[in-house]
Structure 1
């Protein structure tokens, strides 16, 4: 497969986050690679949810290997990270469900084992500015990429792409937080999935807010209907083998942390540490 379209590149933006919890159960979630141009140059990070990395006994990231700038489809490399929870930089606000880890030491560790990682990053330049957001409609089509219920093409190491729509306007802060809702099938394992406004290449039109791709945010929670028919948001848990959600029902409303919060977290990290 030639990686010659935007959609194909997005298949290599995510990495699978595999974890073992303190009670011994296994889980999986989603991370993705972001590039940010700061005052000290271009730096890359993996972004995921803090609830995926806190309270974890051990964890690793699953990449596709590359050679000469091309993917070796189906050739897996799992990078185990020592003291997994401590490797991540968490958002200073404990209520903000975001965590990042720099790519540079991960790539060095892979090179030390003779491995080239293959991935495509998302540049923070794709985060829409205020003027662009004002040009968005109340209802927009979205695309998110990840590993719902742990499902993926484990032979070819490819994630699952899913579509949906915004359920609240992107330009509004849902319940006063830097978040918005999507109407989409969000399941355990979708934690940390990047969310895009995606129109496809060749569809851009003149005027504001018409580029083929914008990075909108990160899935962090899903709404459940409890037995008493009360709607409550809860973190999208890591997918766990054999686990089921009991006495509650997901209603296909996902909570997305806005991408501006990802940029803020990266900039805070860059202020504290230089490579």
Structure 2
């Protein structure tokens, strides 16, 4: 075979990595530093390059390229170590894989963008989002299906597909919603049939173990993260959400103004509805058996809060948001 040199990865600072396949089928990785670092190229056998379990973009890119070459029959199979699964650290925080980008449709017409997340209980899997995402009379928003974006390759986050979820069957709504003595709760849950999902679907899910304990305390001002897709914005290469940071702005555990929600102070936008509101679980941080998801799922982001009496010419928006307490999920997934 003829010698080949294939691009593997280029870093933002100008470093490049290439795969050189010799005429004798030997394989080495060439690293060319940027000019500021001297630009002196170095080479390393593929086996040595892959032997580290450190997750780096260039290493992940090489794994993907080798797989593609094998699928295209451009690289002969061998029994070298790069043919065997290599232990790898997760390339991305599992928290980002709990969130799902949501699109709503009426027929083939795309209506809105939103956020959601996965929740698992007793081997069953659910998509959680805001109630007004699936139906909202005030805005005359009545979609008949949702689409969620799923990763389909654990080694290549750039590979994804859209999965359609009907909202009605024979005219009957398929989602679950709830209400209490404070009125309707802006949370909707749809059960997902695992065997209908793509076989290689890659995601993470919260569970009952991630809900705050009844006797847990979270002070006003405690830091929270809201994981979603504001205005549909996201990492379009890896199909991942972004995270906004905020704080708890009301007494956590109390029903704000008699409703089953609490208040966050964070900058949010349309498209964030249905996003999980989380904080680090202090009992898990730094422990020797720290789980893949060391987070507490505090609530489900609903919407921004504004004052009807606000003078739009003089007063800024409050910058506050409502989030529904996550314990409603134990009722809706029962």
TM-score (norm 1): 0.74
Q: CA deviation at 1:50?
A: 1.4
Q: Deviation at 1:42?
A: 2.9
Give yes or no for contact 2:144–2:166 (8 Å, CA) kept in 1.
no
1:130 aligns with 2:214: yes
CA distance in 2: counterparts of 1:100 and 1:7, whole angstroms: 26
1:52 is matched with which residue? 133
Show structure 1 runs of 5+ residues with no match. Answer: 206-210, 232-247, 268-275
CA contact under 8 A between 1:224 and 1:249: conserved in structure 2? no
Higher-Rg structure is: 2
Per-residue Cα deviation, 1:132-165 (whole angstroms, up to 9, x for no partner): 1xx3222210011000111011221010111110
1:102 aligns with 2:191: yes
Alpha-carbon distance in structure 2 between the residues aligned to 1:96 and 1:49: 9
- Contact 1:64–1:71 (CA under 8 A) maintained in structure 2: no
Distance 1:195 1:71 in 2: 27
Which residue pairs with 1:33 in the alignment?
118
Q: What is the RMSD computed on CA atoms of the aligned residues?
A: 3.2
Residues of 1 paired with 2:255 and 2:132: CA distance? 22
TM-score by length of structure 2 reads 0.62
CA distance in 2, matches of 1:26, 1:75: 24
**How many angstroms does 1:254 deviate by?**
0.8
Assess if the C-alpha contact under 8 Å between 1:21 and 1:27 holds in 2.
no
Cα deviation digits, residues 158-213 of structure 1 (max 9, x gap): 101111100002121111122100000121001000001126897469xxxxx952
What's 2:123 paired with?
42
Query: How many angstroms does 1:108 deviate by?
Result: 2.0
Q: Are the aligned partners of 2:220 and 2:247 in contact in 1 as well (CA < 8 Å)? A: no
Larger RCO (CA within 8 A; separation ≥ 6): 1
Cα offsets for 1:71-129 (capped at 9, x unmatched): 531111101223568332232567111111122x2x32234xxx421001112211112
Separation in 2, partners of 1:190, 1:79 = 19
